[in-house]
Amino acid sequence: MSGVPVFPSTAGGRTRTLVTGGAGFVGSHLVEHLLAAGDDVVVLDDLSTGSARNLAGVADNPRLEMIHGSILNSKTVAQAMHSCDRVFHLAAAVGVKLIVEQPLRGLRINIHGTENVLTAAIEHKASVLLVSTSEVYGKNTADRLREDSDRVLGDPLLSRWTYAGAKGIDEAFAKAYCDQEGLDVAIVRLFNTVGPRQTGRYGMVLPNLVGQALRGHPLTVFGDGLQTRCFSAVEDIVPAMVRIERDPRARGQAYNLGGAREISILDLAREIIATLDSRSEIELVPYEQAYAAGFEDMRRRVPDNTKAHDLVGYEPTTPLTTTIMRVAADLLSRERLGSDAMPLAGAGSFRGVV
Ligand SMILES: NC(=O)c1ccc[n+]([C@@H]2O[C@H](COP(=O)([O-])OP(=O)(O)OC[C@H]3O[C@@H](n4cnc5c(N)ncnc54)[C@H](O)[C@@H]3O)[C@@H](O)[C@H]2O)c1
């Protein structure tokens, strides 16, 4: 039901922060961080890809209010924004698979929903951290992508590019509201953020491969597997997001937040198998089989994190193997693997990490 509080509301003199998409993967880690820092936190989430279970660890916290509703409903957004000092805007239709399959839904949520959040923030004099994505750079394979690097996007009629298109519009909206209406807004562009609670259901590579390794199934790697990414741990990203939001120098600016180590998806699959001591093999799957014919992927995507480092000291430190172990532990503990889950060959050493 739209606009229905799930957890009780509180009042107080502390910072009151709205997190849209707070029941999602990144959002739930952010909510925990903000509650631990002493904020009152309001979560607005339609639970489409997120889950109340992601907030189970803090559900009893009296400083958390959860509103089940959509950012497409401007009245619900205004209700959620009431008395808030700031908003972290994460609610979005996310994941290549979801976007390719339902482009219209994605465009509506990611453009109209975001504008609802930005206009409500102006009305309520709240500051905004807009969470954008490295997808905005599209097919630019520059050695290090800077915030002012060119965008290289494919045919706008390909649904694959609607996510990058919509997030780019979101950023342009944020900047225009900042320049013309005085909105206090900063933007972060996340690069492949990974960690516990990320689901593989919507095409996210790391939890998918970890799930396959846990089951002893082949790890399905798309294309030739030589495409590279830089994965960053959610626990490195969240504190940087909060520091950027607080810094007045970030107003009207965008910041990359990505991992430090470039790795091919093939090597990622190998590292997952080795870390989890899995008996799985690797199977290369043509893109046309995984997605529709003509699907385009980025050969590489490498961030230049200098701007965030210089502003707030951002430095990704969590090793990828640590994240792989944490994701595996999370998948097992949440029983996301279903009835065909098979115990790990190396479960003895692995259990120690849970
Ligand atoms: N995880 C990454 O690697 C990554 C990379 C780049 C950008 N991002 C951005 O980070 C943000 C969070 O992504 P995530 O990875 O946690 O994904 P997620 O799917 O776990 O989180 C999105 C949340 O938004 C909610 N939501 C979706 N539509 C909504 C609507 N209409 N109204 C209210 N809530 C709605 C979902 O239920 C979910 O809880 C997104 O804005 C995404 O674009 C994530």
Question: Is residue 309 scored above 70 in pLDDT?
Answer: yes
Tokens of 351: 């259990």
Question: Is residue 345 scored above 90 in pLDDT?
Answer: no
Q: Which positions ≥6 away from 217 have C-beta within 8 Å? A: 280
Q: Is 216 left (phi over 0), alpha (psi -120 to 50) or beta?
A: left
Ligand 1, atom 44: closest residue by C-alpha: 190
Mode of pairing for the β-strands spanning 228-230 and 262-264: antiparallel
Nearest ligand 1 atom, CA 23 = 39
* Catalytic position from the list 137, 163, 177, 291: 163
Ligand 1, atom 18: closest residue by C-alpha: 24
pLDDT in tens, 223-257: 999 999 999 999 999 999 999 999 999 999 999 99
Question: In this predicted structure, what is the pLDDT of residue 289?
Answer: 78
Question: In this predicted structure, what is the pLDDT of residue 12?
Answer: 54
Question: In this predicted structure, what is the pLDDT of residue 25?
Answer: 97
Q: What's the gap in Å between 47 CA and the centre of ligand 1?
A: 10
CA distances 340 to 41, 209, 215, Å, are 38, 15, 7
Annotated active-site residue 163? The verdict is yes
Question: Is residue 354 scored above 80 in pLDDT?
Answer: no
Which has the closest alpha carbon to 22: 49, 61, 1? 49
Confidence class of residue 335 from pLDDT cuts 50, 70 and 90? low
Residue percentage of the chain with pLDDT more than 90: 79
* Strand partners for 189: 132, 256
Question: In this predicted structure, what is the pLDDT of residue 196?
Answer: 97
Q: Dihedral (C-alpha) 72, 24, 270, 268: value to the nearest 10 degrees?
A: 60
Site to probe by mutation for ligand 1, drawn from 25, 104, 194 as the one with most ligand atoms within 8 Å of Cβ, is 25
Question: In this predicted structure, what is the pLDDT of residue 9?
Answer: 41
CA distances 113 to 73, 93, 217, Å, are 8, 10, 39
Residue for token pair 């910072």: 15
Q: What's the gap in Å between 21 CA and the centre of ligand 1?
A: 6
Q: How far apart are CA 299 and CA 70, in angstroms?
A: 35
Residue for token pair 């409903």: 73
pLDDT in tens, 65-115: 999 999 999 999 999 999 999 999 999 999 777 888 899 999 999 999 999
Question: In this predicted structure, what is the pLDDT of residue 98?
Answer: 81
Q: Which domains does the chain have, with CATH numbers?
A: 4-191+233-257 (3.40.50.720), 205-229+261-300+317-351 (3.90.25.10)
Nearest ligand 1 atom, CA 50 = 39
Q: Which positions ≥6 away from 239 have C-beta within 8 Å? A: 33
Confidence class of residue 29 from pLDDT cuts 50, 70 and 90? very high
Question: In this predicted structure, what is the pLDDT of residue 334?
Answer: 81
Tell me the three state secondary structure of residue 187.
strand
Question: Is residue 63 scored above 50 in pLDDT?
Answer: yes
**Which letter does DSSP use for residue 259 in this model?**
-
Tell me the three state secondary structure of residue 219.
strand
318-336 mean pLDDT: 91
Q: How far apart are CA 280 and CA 115, in angstroms?
A: 45
Question: Is residue 342 scored above 50 in pLDDT?
Answer: no
Residue with more model confidence, 39 or 293: 39
